[in-house]
Structure 1
């Protein structure tokens, strides 16, 4: 981006585009979504290359987490968009007779989307799909920590999408500060809690609504399973949910595992075998693991192991290669609970295992921590499932699998408390970037005189009945019992 004047000119053009009402039409919205599909198809190789440069992601991981998920979301939006845009009729109490009502979705206006670096393509496109579907104009701010993807978005989006309605602005912290000084109709942010607080504080100056997709320490509750095949599958899902998606650098990645003490050794051995099967035994062998995003985050992760008591709890892994920004998948057994490893979101390839005497104690343990974005519970115990649902709070609960909830357009995705607020995916993305305008219409041919003075006892009794028994109030009205 150039000067502040360039930014101001861009925002003026975007608001003019929105006021022209062009973005409100079904045709425009569909054309932009279809254009993103064309971008995916024609620039797939460049997307693969950008994600490899930024994070060392394998092309199959890129397709699964970045390209395929976006294509799926677009096709879902295209198939549902006309229905989403339509007014929703709502039933009115009979006392409003004769009247009709509907809820009409309308775009918010000028939207700012901040993108996180860990999934720098899909976390740009997924909210963009929702903002476009709802008919908004958009400024997209990619993460400077994923520079190849940021450049790709900046170069390709203007080639495929309406450049007067959707703009990409690159830059670092200074650019973010400039953007936050401006007035927006919505800010959508994916990232850390620390930056989320700054976003929210800046948005408050203009009373701008925000959606914050943050993170937290997402636990796995591993209950006892009945046979070896189930144990192997559960461990495979834990390994995939920890290291298989950006090497633990994901807000929904497994942060720690809760298991009964008697199963800890079995779990550790099974984790080790699965890790080596999926990724290899040494740093030199790893072909399917993403690297740590940059030196700063590499050093942050390294520092988590500086505490001698934390280092002493390592039961597998622990090696690293600073030049390659690679840290070996590392398992720790019962590290100190007051260590930074257990009080802060890890966001990397370190996996603490915390043992309890009885798995039911895991509920109290989770409740002693800030509310997580996701709770994963691998259990077949229906009574225990009900307890988890009723006695814990989290953005999502997923039973007997890891990560798949993120791919489901039928479910809202979002946090609660410190893990964020607001939700998106599928129809929920459309709703996030829309205002639901209530519309009520009445006729002039009938009036409820009891609503007006002069007041008397009958009118008070009538109003009491109307509010308490709406249908009864109408019957009285129909009988002409009014003054």
Structure 2
């Protein structure tokens, strides 16, 4: 009865109290052991899935209001992927959370070596605004599957989607289990003052640096999913029509506001003109009405993007609408590495296209820049493909496609260097929110206790040790 009253008290405090009190309530719930039960975790994910299905129309409407996403794009790039992540974790949670046995070194025989993953505790998840539902809910799903309690900070610039997320979370979960915050920088500052057991951040490098500094004060494990200037390379052997079709899809999805979107394109000089013609054809094919492209999230981002456009280099597009915050798909040609548009991540529907003549020189030029989150190569040249697979540094990518590396729960997603640290999706998401414990189990029978390691060993035993370990 006392535990029940405490749970009710924690719930009331979390609903009305400050951030520190809510984090404390979540800590108490985690330490009670309730979230360690796999049946409890599955039941909570099942409830979340049901509420998302019930609120699909509301989520689609919110994504349209925030980013101008149509219903099909909203489901394909956000809602459906979240449901898929829930299904994956529910199917495989038992295996991921189970005890796994490992080979025993001969020198330690007889023994049993095991590993088991345990949840960190109370974790902070900070989501961005560009895929406000997907990039909030997938880490949440994986953190809950792993057995944690969660404080979720939504991408507050996506006001309508943040509101729906809050309604879903408060309908499904008790706040001492999952709580959600939807406001701006003051809330972020207060959240980062708390001591969490793990922090998961998706967003820009500037805020990511602040988050990492805050985590360092408490030696908190952190996962950073950042961005960067992700290149797409089209060599002389590529299928130009297919390359143009898939680049247009990946670049202008969500009005270019995608962390793994092709940021710029580099094309072999021998096929440059043909590729540009194919690119223009694809833009007209996929966007016959330029007004159907999504909108830029805020006026400030809109003005920043317009400032990157050199009118003298616009090959396709270039028109923009301030009242609707829309910029039509725009391609800039004859761009150099020193142009303003090549200095920072674009994060909008602007595609600068450069030329190159030597593949290895191009790879070295890209390596001299900050490591990108994604890398895309369109090529039939096996040597070029192998170079990108085995040598070129980046978080993840595609050969002869764009974007789709993040669409599977069977491979990890994450950055490298300046584009982030840590991975998630599927098994890797479960592992991100857990600590792996190694345990050696020895029989307590003296007959099976090898005397070699003890200090009273006989001289000949030292030779045996060197042979076993050498």
1:268 aligns with 2:276: yes
1:59 aligns with 2:71: yes
For residues 29 and 304 of structure 1, the distance between their equivalents in structure 2, rounded to whole angstroms, comes to 47
**Match in the other structure for 1:117:** 129
CA 1:2–1:71 in 2, change beyond 3 Å: closer, same or farther?
Answer: closer
**Match in the other structure for 2:10:** none
- Kept in 1: contact 2:291–2:326 (CA 8 A): no
**With structure 2 as the length reference, what TM-score do the two structures score?**
0.93
| Partner secondary structure for residue 114 of structure 2 | strand
For residues 2 and 93 of structure 1, the distance between their equivalents in structure 2, rounded to whole angstroms, comes to 49
- Kept in 2: contact 1:98–1:443 (CA 8 A): yes
Q: Bigger CA drift: 28-37 or 352-361?
A: 352-361
Which runs of structure 2 are paired with 1:115-194 in the superposition (5 Å)?
Answer: 115-194=127-206
State the number of aligned residues. Answer: 456
Q: Cα distance, 1:459 vs. partner? A: 4.4
Q: Structure 2: which 5+ runs fail to align?
A: 1-12
**Match in the other structure for 1:286:** 291
**Match in the other structure for 2:450:** 448
**Match in the other structure for 1:304:** 308
Q: Cα distance, 1:358 vs. partner? A: 3.4
| Partner secondary structure for residue 342 of structure 2 | helix
| Partner secondary structure for residue 347 of structure 1 | coil
| Partner secondary structure for residue 423 of structure 2 | coil
For residues 340 and 147 of structure 2, the distance between their equivalents in structure 1, rounded to whole angstroms, comes to 43
- Kept in 2: contact 1:259–1:359 (CA 8 A): no
RMSD: 1.8
**Match in the other structure for 1:479:** none
Q: Bigger CA drift: 11-20 or 456-465?
A: 456-465
CA 1:323–1:216 in 2, change beyond 3 Å: closer, same or farther?
Answer: same
**Match in the other structure for 2:53:** 41
Deviations 1:216-238 (A, max 9, x none): 11111112346xxx422221100
Deviations 1:232-281 (A, max 9, x none): 222110000000x2111111001111111121121112111211221125
1:75 aligns with 2:83: no
**Match in the other structure for 2:328:** 328
Q: Structure 1: which 5+ runs fail to align?
A: 469-483
**Match in the other structure for 1:206:** 218
For residues 412 and 427 of structure 1, the distance between their equivalents in structure 2, rounded to whole angstroms, comes to 8
CA 1:201–1:221 in 2, change beyond 3 Å: closer, same or farther?
Answer: same
- Kept in 1: contact 2:197–2:220 (CA 8 A): yes
Deviations 1:46-88 (A, max 9, x none): 0011101111111111000111111111111111111111111
Q: Cα distance, 1:369 vs. partner? A: 1.4
Deviations 1:343-378 (A, max 9, x none): 211111110111012344431232121111111111
**With structure 1 as the length reference, what TM-score do the two structures score?**
0.91
- Kept in 1: contact 2:269–2:357 (CA 8 A): yes
For residues 334 and 439 of structure 1, the distance between their equivalents in structure 2, rounded to whole angstroms, comes to 60
For residues 429 and 92 of structure 1, the distance between their equivalents in structure 2, rounded to whole angstroms, comes to 28
- Kept in 1: contact 2:78–2:131 (CA 8 A): yes
For residues 72 and 224 of structure 1, the distance between their equivalents in structure 2, rounded to whole angstroms, comes to 38
- Kept in 1: contact 2:14–2:176 (CA 8 A): no
- Kept in 2: contact 1:32–1:162 (CA 8 A): no
